[in-house]
Amino acid sequence: MEKFLESIQEAEKIIKNVDHMIYITFPLIKEKKLLLKILLETKIAIANCINSILQYEYIYKRITLYKSAKTNFMTFIQKCSQKYEITKQEIKLILELFDIIEKHKHSPIEFIKNEKIIILSENLNPKIITIEKIKEFLLLSKSILTKTKKRILR
């Protein structure tokens, strides 16, 4: 099977699991690590969709791929996002999610207070993420997946 189809299937599976985690599992157990896992998995699902788009466009020789993930992401924004009807607002949200995950990786302290994740940077600047924001990222991932499938699987 083509790699881009595998990426779509993987994204679909992750999104289904994340949806279950945020709407069913988290309200029952209220565990901080679960919210962080949901964020990370949502990022992975979106990255799979982006990779699928890039691979598909590369196969049909519409773009060039590079060793640098940042360069490939810029290619996605500049040459693919409009074709797949991914809006500037969605790109902004993708960048915000990727930034949150990066802050999480480098954060010395994280905790939950009133169902909000607070990630402190090394100089103790807080980044606050609400459940609503996490649900917004989940909706974003569903939207990107739908747009990817619509264009690739037509």
Of 146 and 123, the structure prediction assigns the larger pLDDT to 146
d(CA 42, CA 139): 10
Lowest-confidence pick of 19-28, 57-66, 80-89, 119-128: 119-128
How is residue 63 annotated by DSSP?
Answer: S
pLDDT bin (cut points 50, 70, 90) of residue 2 is confident
pLDDT tens-digit map of 35-66: 999 999 999 999 999 999 999 999 999 999 99
List residues bridging with 114 in a β-sheet: none
For residue 87, what are the contacts with CB-CB under 8 A and spacing of at least 6? none
The answer to whether 118 and 103 have CB atoms below 8 angstroms apart is no
Spell out the CATH class of 3-152.
mainly alpha
pLDDT of residue 49: 97
pLDDT of residue 1: 60
pLDDT of residue 115: 78
pLDDT tens-digit map of 106-143: 998 888 888 788 999 888 889 999 999 999 999 999 99
Q: Model's pTM, two decimal places?
A: 0.94
